[in-house]
Structure 1
Amino acid sequence: MNKQSTTDVLICGAGAAGLTLAIDLARRGVAFRLIDKLAGPFAGSRGKGIQPRTQEVFEDLGLIDRLAAVGSVYPPQREYHDGAQHQDSDESDILFAPPTAQEPYRTPLMVPQFQTEAVLRLRLFELGHAPEYGCELQTFEQDAGGVTAHLISPNEAESVRCRYLVGGDGGRSLVRHVLQINFPGETLGVRAIVADLRLDGLSRDVRHRFNGGDMARQMVFSPLPHTDLFQLQAPVALEGEADLSVSGLQRLIDARQPGSGMLVRGVTWASAYLMNARLAEQYRVGRVLLMGDAAHIHPPTGGQGLNTSVQDAYNLGWKLGAVLAGAPETLLDSYEEERRPIAAQMLGIVTGLLEKAKHGDMRRGRELHQLGLGYPGSSLSLEMPERRGGVLAGDRAPDALLLGAGGQPRRLFDVLKGTHWTLIVRGQIEASLPATNPGLRIVQVGEGGEFIDTNDVFGSVYGLAEGELLLIRPDGYVGAVLPVAESRRLTAYLANVLPESPTLSANQNGRAASAWPAPSEVQVAVPGGD
């Protein structure tokens, strides 16, 4: 008989998205399991760009300084044409900008994906959890009360009963396949090699780009920080076997740059892939949800795939935590509502960049930083009355400098950090405000408050006047802006996103687990389910 077990959330796929979701659930006390069919962690550098908005996410999760320590800013790019001649680019393909009080991260970080995931695993371990490698999802079925997932590992088969199943299992997602969710899009007519090499003959102070604009001869070598490796990116023919061995990659380099003096000493990881742009038609069917590459696939131009995936998980984590703690299940409807349009927008941007790159144009703009992305049309964005300026409902909440009543400077991001909602009251706190809740922190800014807005810096950034309320979500986006006189609307809003009272209790392993029903007699029809 198969082993049987229960948990609240089963996460399939221990890549960056799966690890991010696991960290967020762990800090909320949610019982979960994180599985991956791979025998061990991913070993390649593939998704190496960490955009500024993702850096903000990682700051909230307690990761940013570790990531910066194993990464670096992107070095300049050196262009080579006509043999050995070269010049350093006057106009960088990466947009660098100094930090400001409102945007503390404004330059992408280069961190090899294997390092990013190692940092995420370490944080997860500190929270008492670890991925289960070599554990593969075979199939699943769901009913009104939950999902039954069938797993196999080298030593046993297992049936897991969970309240929710999240598929972060990559572009060939089994979860998406079982749900029979269409994955429309296009193959972009470009096949590329990406490989991590030990290489002699190139300096490590720049990225080296050979034969830009010539898709038959182009190569880019990026020195991976704090390693002895270079990442090679090179388009190759659509047909035929790609030789990813040391000798095969040496032949490719010699053919494209004869007499370069580059010598491949070793290959630690390599892959050849067709570039695709695809977007799942749905992100949720009942109690099963998709995120990351299972929901959207991007070409690598612009470095958006990993970043969009991490932010999927960051959006989903607080919503799953709230629903499991007793908030209305309809809150989960906002996940697809908010994240699918973002993926569609980023797919449009990066496919456009790919077309430019075919002609040698590698310039990139601020839109790739993802600081301007938000959810203004979301059902979770409340504005009374409609505002003409300042920060709007659905916008990313910018950082700002405040002064604590104790006399020390405080960043707004430090106030927001954690799993709670934050209600900022500009002026006196009124008796009509929502009742206290373990998931809501109410802070007063102004005379008599815990924070002082010196020189009206915070008020100017947010366009927030005396007597106005600002509600910021756990993922750092503005949920509501309204006057104190409309606070009853805020009470109704919070009833849809916060549990009325906590329902989680510690299980025997010290993790929180909520009570939930066994499989229902009444089955929910799920395409592809048994």
Structure 2
Amino acid sequence: MTDEGVRDEGVLIVGAGPTGLTLAIELARRGAGVRIVDAAPVPHRESRGKGLQPRTLEVLEDVGIAERALAVGTTRLPFRKYFDGAHVNDTDPFADARPTPDAPYERGVLIGQWQVEKLLRERLAEFGVGVEGGTEVTGFEQDESGVTAVLADGGRIRAGYLVGCDGGRSRVRKAMGVRFDGTTDETQSMVVGDVEAEGISRDVWHQWFASDGRGVMLCPMPGTNSFQFQAGPELDASGDPLPPSLESFQRIFDRYAQVPGITLTDPTWLSLWRVNVRMADRMRVGRVLLAGDAAHIHPIAGGLGMNTGIQDAYNLGWKLALATAGQAGPGLLDTYEEERLPVAAWTLGISTDLYARVREAVKEPGTGVEAAAPPPMGTGYRWSSLATPATTGDPAVLRPGDRAPDAPCLDASGHPVRLFQVYADPRFTLLGFGAEVADAVGKLAVGHGDLLQAFTVDGGGDLRDHEGHARRAYGVTGPALVLVRPDNHVALLTRDPAEVAKYLTRMTTFPPKE
């Protein structure tokens, strides 16, 4: 523990789920001091949120674990639907999806949440940082120079900033005095768990539905012997959900699957889940911030909770690292809430609609749950104050604030390299298209080297857009300068080097919002 009187200008992260771990990695790889604590003494092994969307895989590639996640999970699992015990169809809603030069991940990956967290912990350990388990934060005190977290055992930890990634029941959020607006629908609930079921095929996601509008689903979890079990709960005489148990899971399975001789065994997770749709009215109070479920909770459909939390952390990490290093203006952290609160509101609307569509889908024999597949996430922040209006490029193709596309190029030695590989550096990236801007690119790199890495494209130097994919993706035809944020969103499209210098200088002088 850090004594209260010692000033630690790093970041304390409360909660070691996917959000907190991603944020810790983003800070650690930028050289920021970080500690991450979790109330649980040991990591869980529960499947929980079980899908990573394509945009999240892009984030995890930058973080350094996308290949590991793809190796553990699966990208191809057909849906097998049954109705009143009879097989209806097998479908793969992404069967025709193909990667493109600008989007390398054409589909998401099915993987247990505990497996994602394990990969993130391993990656974090590569930076010399470990999770401090069994450390419960019950509150905090903050002043102009930092935050003092109060622990359940009476200890205290001092940090420059504190980020609550401690889930829907966040103690950090409650101590902040932030509202958590929304609803909890006690009439809609689901039992979820991890069980084994010998004799059930593991090469499809089984979805048994019945004419009474209820049913049960078994999804095989890659790399394990378990299935994730999902169903409506059994009800007591008053119509209230009964607590989940292996016995109740078996009864539900027998009733709706109608597959004799299958016994559910070895439960490692049994949970009762209610429909919650809630969002914090703020994500920052002074030096304390919120991310993930602590800031917004979603219906289970679409797997948007884990994905949104990881993308929260990706947005916040580089800004918080600059703040701890003294390189950020006082208003840069305000852009985290400015950019992520609208995304949370949008996601809540999408996931609520998805849940409603799932409930309708199970009533129709010809409709699969794949009809509720979510739209793509992470398309950008065009409304942000960090998105400076473009002075070049085709706005119909790309605008500041948009996700920065990938593209295959050749490096100076003629070897293949993707733009996403180039962007893996934790700094801003400048792409200078054409020999006309090559000198300006070099000068900007020298003048802003602590914030910027810079490359000429087709300027006789660093990168060659040999197939034209980069120019098409970025909507440029002549000389152009493209500035990409550390979280791989377009900051600036211009031909004027002074605009790039002005933008980077603004990072260090960013005024607070009024």
Distance 1:470 1:2, change over 3 A: closer
Any conservation in 2 of the 1:6–1:160 contact (CA below 8 Å)?
no
Bigger mean CA offset, 68-77 vs 361-370: 361-370
- Aligned residue in 2 for 1:228: 225
Structure 1 residues 212 and 124: alpha-carbon distance in aligned structure 2, compared to 1, 3 A threshold: farther
CA distance in 2, matches of 1:365, 1:423: 39
State the partner residue of 2:380. 374
The answer on 1:41 being equivalent to 2:43 is yes
Which residues in structure 2 correspond to 1:197-276 (within 5 Å)? 197-211=195-209, 214-215=212-213, 217-236=214-233, 240=240, 242-258=242-258, 260-276=260-276
Superposition CA RMSD, Å:
2.2
Q: Which residue of 1 aligns with 2:364?
A: none
Change (3 A) 1:353 1:93: farther
Deviation at 1:455, TM superposition (A): 4.1
1:353: which partner in 2? 354
Residue number in structure 2 paired with 1:26: 28
C-alpha distance in structure 2 between counterparts of 1:2 and 1:57, whole Å: 32
1:383 corresponds to which of 357, 380, 389: 389
Q: Distance in 2 between matches of 1:6 and 1:124?
A: 24
Which residue number corresponds to residue 516 of structure 1?
A: none
Contact kept? 1:315, 1:335, Cα under 8 Å: yes
Deviation of 1:121 after TM superposition, in Å, equals: 0.6
Deviation at 1:244, TM superposition (A): 2.9
8 A contact 1:383–1:482 mirrored in 2: no
2:457 corresponds to 1:445: yes
State the AA in 2 paired with 1:28: R
Provide the rounded CA distance (Å) in 1 between the counterparts of 2:192 and 2:123. Answer: 28
> What does residue 478 of structure 1 align with?
490
Distance in 1, matches of 2:94 and 2:155, equals 47
Per the TM alignment, residue 414 of structure 1 is displaced from its structure 2 partner at its CA by 1.0
Question: For residue 287 of structure 1, what is the amino acid of its counterpart?
Answer: R
Q: What are the superposed Cα offsets for residues 412-468 of structure 1, whole Å, 9 maximum, x if unpaired?
A: 111111211101111232449532322200111113221122243321221123321
Counterparts of 1:203 and 1:452, CA distance in 2:
48
Q: 2:354 touches 2:374 (CA, 8 Å); kept in 1?
A: no
1:124-143 mapped onto 2 (5 Å cutoff): 124-143=124-143
- Which segment drifts farther, 49-58 or 457-466? 457-466
Q: 1:147 deviation in Å?
A: 1.0
Residue 403 of structure 1 is matched in structure 2 by 410
- Report the 3-state secondary structure (helix = DSSP H, G, I; strand = E; otherwise coil) of the residue aligned with 1:277: strand
Is 1:492 aligned with 2:498? no
State whether residues 214 and 359 of structure 1, in contact with CA within 8 Å, keep that contact through their aligned partners in structure 2.
no
SS in 1 for 2:160: strand
Question: Who is 1:89 aligned against?
Answer: 90
Which residue number in structure 1 is paired with residue 335 of structure 2?
334
Cα offsets for 1:472-521 (capped at 9, x unmatched) = 0111100111112xx32322211232599xxxxxxxxxxxxxxxxxxxxx
- Determine helix, strand or coil for the equivalent of 1:204: coil
Distance (Å, rounded) in 2 between the aligned partners of 1:80 and 1:232: 16
Residue 310 of structure 1 pairs with residue 319 of structure 2: no
Q: Deviations over 1:206-254 (max 9, x none)?
A: 1111116744x31110011121101001122675453433223212222
Q: Which moved more, 1:16-25 or 1:1-10?
A: 1-10
What is the TM-score with the length of structure 2 in the denominator? 0.91
Q: How does 1:37-116 map to 2 (within 5 A)?
A: 37-83=39-85, 85-90=86-91, 92=92, 97-116=97-116
- Match of residue 301 from structure 1: 301
**Deviation string, structure 1 residues 129-155 (Cα, Å, up to 9, x no partner):** 1111110111111111111111135xx
| CA positional deviation for 1:352 | 0.9
Q: 1:219 to 1:228 in 2, by over 3 A?
A: same
Counterpart of 1:344 in structure 2 is 345
Q: Per-residue deviation at 1:191?
A: 0.5
Q: CA deviation at 1:78?
A: 1.0
* SS of residue matched to 1:358: helix
SS across alignment from 2:124: helix
The one-letter code of the counterpart of 2:216 is M
Asked if 1:151 is matched to 2:151, the reply is yes
Question: SS of the counterpart of 1:11?
Answer: strand
Distance of 2:460 and 2:14 partners within structure 1: 49
Q: Tell me which amino acid in the other structure corresponds to 1:466.
A: G
1:437 partner amino acid: G
Equivalent in the alignment of 1:521: none
Partner Cα separation in structure 1 for residue 11 and residue 79 of structure 2: 44
Matched, 1:469 2:481: yes
Please report how far the alpha carbon of residue 282 of structure 1 lies from its aligned counterpart in structure 2 after TM superposition. Answer: 0.5
Query: SS of the residue aligned with 2:375?
Result: helix
The code of the aligned residue for 1:424 comes to L
| Conserved? CA contact 2:79–2:370, under 8 Å | no
1:179 equivalent in structure 2: 176
Q: 1:39 to 1:168 in 2, by over 3 A?
A: same
Instruction: Give 3-state SS (helix, strand or coil) of 1:89's partner.
Output: strand
Q: For 2:374 and 2:205, how far apart are their aligned partners in 1?
A: 22
Q: In 1, distance between residues paired with 2:207 and 2:288?
A: 43
Instruction: List runs of 5+ in structure 1 lacking aligned partners.
Output: 501-530
Q: Deviations over 1:69-94 (max 9, x none)?
A: 111124111111223x213234x456
Cα offset, 1:61, TM superposition: 1.1
Ranked by relative contact order (alpha carbons within 8 Å, sequence separation 6 or more), the top structure is 1
Going from structure 1 to structure 2, the CA distance change for 1:437 and 1:200 (only over 3 Å counts) comes to: same
Read off the aligned partner of 1:50 and give its amino acid letter.
L
Q: What SS does the aligned partner of 2:301 have?
A: coil
For residues 392 and 95 of structure 1, do their structure 2 counterparts lie closer, same or farther at Cα, with a shift above 3 Å needed? farther
